[in-house]
Amino acid sequence: MAAAYFGQLDIPTTPGEVTVFCGGFKGALLCACAAVMALRRGDELHHTGGVVLAPVGYYQSLRLIPPIFTGDLEVAEELDGPAVAAWLSRTARRLGRIVYVPLVNNSDGRVLSCRRAHSIAAAVLENNRRQPANPVWVVADDVYAGSYLVPDLAPRPIGGVRGCDVGDAALGAMSDWTVTITTSSKTVALPTARVAFATTTSAAMRAALAHYRTMFSFGRVPQTGELTAAAALCLTPQSWVEHWNAEYRRRLVCVTDALDAINRELGYELYRVEKPEDGWSFVLQIRRCHLPGPVVSGAHASALLLNYAPDRRDSGVGGLPGELFGYDLDGTDEWLTLRGTLAVEPEELRRFAARLRDVAMLIRGPDGVGVARHALAKASAVADLDRIVSRRRY
């Protein structure tokens, strides 16, 4: 059944070529990194290291899993063919290279277009033809396939690209160099089934994934969980998915209209939203120059929104700092970035907008700096935000 789903993504797969993982996407990613960045000899596991290239907005596990194998993460502002080719040239002597290619950016909801998919595939396939002893692998994160918010989108899963698509059939197929991962937790909203399905047409990589799945797993996937997740992927009616796509479009319009109203009331643009093409997350941006002096990072902005009025039970806005996804790498971006979600009730979004207005009015007032300092002190009592941000590598 899972093989049939990969067939919908134009990735050639038979039932025996699908590997099932505990722990969802993270479980499959851990094993893919181990296959590329580790070497097992008998009972000893040697970390050979490596490096992952990811776009800004990457899945958060990419900050945590490669270092287990002494691997690094590098971030591209724009993940396309030229960026990948330049990175491959610069890292030609490094072993254990992986390019993380999401079908949908986990933060801003941007989809992988056919043009970008073909350009990345061309760079990878050409590199692997020239360097067969040190190939680069691709981890394709296809967990959001289907939840498109913009009409007439035609995203292209990287694992389905072939050499003939990029003008040279002799280059082979990306599925030979790609581990494509999907789950039931996103598009079909079954997060309780912590199951991931991965496929590749590389027999060696498939064997490595199966090996490390056994090594790292604390248990097998219950058969009922596997079947439920596979059924959710394959049998969920597209009309159900489209219903929620339409609902998220409406919620996004409500959020952007409310923020535009706040900006008009202020007389300047404090907030803006990067409209996603897919998924139910969105990027909330806050203009740095309109924030009190103590707020200098996305982590600070998150703390300000959460603690702007800690003595009031009807206050506080939760959001994830953009630094967790690779934003504002040098601390000079004009806009500070937070990640929000549309997967809440409309009334929650109305409260969200109302509280953003409260924040805007407070920090514009005579005690704006005091509000910010108090909020940061409240957050720092829990975690040292400045130390965390200063030590981030990615």
pLDDT digits (tens, 9 = 90+) for 139-159: 999 988 777 888 778 889 999
Q: What per-residue confidence (pLDDT) applies to 11?
A: 80
Report how far residue 377's alpha carbon sits from residue 357's, in angstroms, rounded to the nearest whole number: 22
* pLDDT tens track for 37-70: 998 777 777 888 999 999 999 988 888 899 999 9
What number of H helices and E strands is found in the chain? 11, 13
- Measuring CA to CA, how many Å separate 299 from each of 152, 175, 327? 36, 38, 11
Q: What per-residue confidence (pLDDT) applies to 145?
A: 77
Of 175-184, 195-204, 227-236, 346-355, give the lowest mean pLDDT range. Answer: 227-236
Place of tokens 């996103």: 186
Query: Order of strands, edge to edge, in the sheet holding 50-55?
Result: 18-22, 195-199, 178-183, 136-141, 97-102, 50-55, 71-76
Measured over the CA atoms of residue 254, residue 256, residue 261 and residue 262, the dihedral's sign is positive
Whether the pLDDT of residue 135 is over 90: the answer is yes
Report how far residue 384's alpha carbon sits from residue 50's, in angstroms, rounded to the nearest whole number: 30
pLDDT above 90 coverage of the chain, percent: 60
pLDDT band with cut points at 50, 70 and 90 for residue 269: very high
Amino acid at the residue 14: T
Measured over the CA atoms of residue 45, residue 49, residue 54 and residue 58, the dihedral's sign is positive
Whether the pLDDT of residue 86 is over 70: the answer is yes
Whether the pLDDT of residue 132 is over 80: the answer is yes
CATH 3.40.640.10-classified regions of the chain: 2-236
How much is the average pLDDT of 68-86? 95
Q: Higher pLDDT residue, 41 or 93?
A: 93
CATH 3.90.1150.10-classified regions of the chain: 240-390
Report how far residue 103's alpha carbon sits from residue 139's, in angstroms, rounded to the nearest whole number: 10
Q: What per-residue confidence (pLDDT) applies to 245?
A: 87
Q: What per-residue confidence (pLDDT) applies to 348?
A: 94
Q: What per-residue confidence (pLDDT) applies to 190?
A: 83
Q: Does domain 2-236 have CATH number 3.40.640.10?
A: yes
Angle between the N-to-C axes of helices 346-364 and 238-266, in degrees from 0 to 180, rounded to the nearest 10: 20
pLDDT band with cut points at 50, 70 and 90 for residue 308: very high
How much is the average pLDDT of 88-115? 94
Whether the pLDDT of residue 233 is over 90: the answer is no
Q: Higher pLDDT residue, 43 or 105?
A: 105
Q: Indicate whether this model's pTM tops 0.85.
A: yes
Q: In the CATH scheme, what is the code of domain 240-390?
A: 3.90.1150.10
Place of tokens 């407070």: 362
Q: Higher pLDDT residue, 85 or 143?
A: 85
Q: What per-residue confidence (pLDDT) applies to 230?
A: 87
Exposure pattern of 131-166 as b/e (b: 16+ CB <10 Å)?
Answer: eeeebbbbbbbbbbbbbbbeeeeebbbbbbbbbebb
Q: 331 — phi, psi (to 5°)?
A: 75, 20
Q: How many CA atoms lie within 13 A of 305 on its CB side?
A: 26
Can you name the residues that pair with 38 across neighbouring β-strands? 47
Can you name the residues that pair with 136 across neighbouring β-strands? 97
Report how far residue 91's alpha carbon sits from residue 69's, in angstroms, rounded to the nearest whole number: 18
